[in-house]
Amino acid sequence: GPKVLQIPSHQIIDMGQMVTLNCDPVSNHLYFYWYKQILGQQMEFLVNFYNGKVMEKSKLFKDQFSVERPDGSYFTLKIQPTALEDSAVYFCASSLAGNYAEQFFGPGTRLTVL
Amino acid sequence: GDSVTQTEGQVALSEEDFLTIHCNYSASGYPTLFWYVQYPGEGPQLLFRASRDKEKGSSRGFEATYDKGTTSFHLRKASVQESDSAVYYCALIPSSSFSKLVFGQGTSLSVVP
């Protein structure tokens, strides 16, 4: 089936540094998402993105977070500066349509903030 | 707020056993309900969804029925196989959103031959 890729699979950084997580969505998809899963906890929605704009975001999507997808390249999540509580697995997803459509998930990026 | 509760954190079965994973939700109106499955090293993938009361979703021998009266969407399979070992997530999209998935805690299923 359609595949979403995430780069890197693991990232270790020091608190206060900037990090960019990259997502290569399914090629014809138009809607993009980020979810966060802290170890042992449930996956939580961060943000969705369509047509160059954030459509919905949760309280977890702090001011230090930003997303973009310049001209069909990677869909990125940038955190600047990082904090210890940002340590988690971040899952990217994409879908062809918006309303209740099937979301295809990547394998996740494990981010460790020291 | 909207939430999903899965009561079983881990389930261990033998092949050909019957599987039930319980899922209850809290949300106003008629959320769309989903079951996702996650294999090691991969992201969650959709098993099936249901959007109306009494609607049954099914795929690969798994099934669940949307029950608004009991706010439940329990996952069942009559005869599990070792290849079904994975983490199963119940999730919903609230009627107030169009694509924000709210996940349960996940249930890790282990099936031994």
pLDDT tens readout for residues B55-95: 999 999 999 999 999 999 999 999 999 999 999 999 999 98
Nearest CA in chain A to B37: A105
Q: Report yes or no: A102 at the B interface, CB cutoff 8 Å.
A: yes
* B1-44 pLDDT per residue, tens: 899 999 999 999 999 999 999 999 999 989 999 999 999 999 99
- Asked if the C-beta of B112 comes within 8 angstroms of chain A's C-beta atoms, the answer is no
DSSP secondary structure letters along chain A: ----EEE-SEEEE-TT--EEEEEE--TT--EEEEEEE-TTS--EEEEEEETTEEEEE-TTS-TTEEEE-GGGS-EEEEESS--GGG-EEEEEEEESSSTTPPPEE---EEEEE-
Name chain B contacts of A105, Cβ cutoff 8 Å: 36, 42-45
- The minimum CA-CA distance between A80 and chain B, rounded to whole Å, is 24
Q: Mind telling me how many Å the CA of A6 is from chain B's nearest CA?
A: 10
- Judged by CB atoms closer than 8 Å, whether chains meet at B99 and A35 is answered as no
Mind listing the pLDDT tens digit for each residue in A53-102?
Answer: 999 999 999 999 999 998 778 999 999 999 999 999 999 999 998 888 89
